[in-house]
Structure 1
């Protein structure tokens, strides 16, 4: 195997081992609210029957409804779709530069909400409520323009608490991965 591939596999294994310390807590939180959202934690793969049995173990839908309402409140309180919550400004800039920054912020905000952020942001807030964290990946839509924002399932994210970088496991073999990512 290529030296870089060996290094990446070793890093992924280390990150998985570091994550396992917390997975039982996250798994239990998901089990009481949204059992299907926690699929993939602890390398657990849910088939239809085991998913149905996890949902059936919930006493009622109170925790699920509460998680849904809290996620909605977080979303509407922090990043509402009907009010610009993003602005760029600096006190030391002249007025024309500050106006240009404000125009840029409006353009970015419009592109965020023209993308799939509102749906994915709500899903991400469900993960915040259930597990205490989430991961969103922001990319450009190379065909249509604008942004593309997929949420990443908690079971697929590998990160280190002290690192600004995060990694995600893929099921692609090296050649299709290279074709997708390029050089």
Structure 2
């Protein structure tokens, strides 16, 4: 019976443990690299937010802006629906056609009402949020001259859903 043995440059036989270690290392390397690659891909998948709850499904309707009663300020209103199974957050509203716009909320203290800036507005899953003059709206400071029937483009920015663009129609106050 003959056995195959490995020899070095001097003609000496390599020990059996050395012959097996190169093969064992090669065989172990494939699953280790495969596991490391899979772990990196799963980490990237969860980091992007793609894993987990399905995304919110945001739609915006009934967009309107009051014709300013004076030239100082006015307000815009939107009905925001989320038919998804995850909530989202409205972080800002902007319009290239208007001056400064910001989310605002009516606050009543000691019988007097006033508008205060609002950092964001949560839109829960499977819900609808209607902006009104008596709750949350978009404050528009120093608007240009507007008349009934004009349209103004607004960009609503959501934390997860990104930008939603709508056209708001100017209406008389309290419509």
Name the TM tier (shorter chain).
Answer: under 0.3
TM-score, scaled to structure 2: 0.21
TM-score, scaled to structure 1: 0.20
Q: More helix by proportion, 1 or 2?
A: 1
Q: More strand by proportion, 1 or 2?
A: 2
Structure exhibiting the larger radius of gyration computed from Cα positions = 2
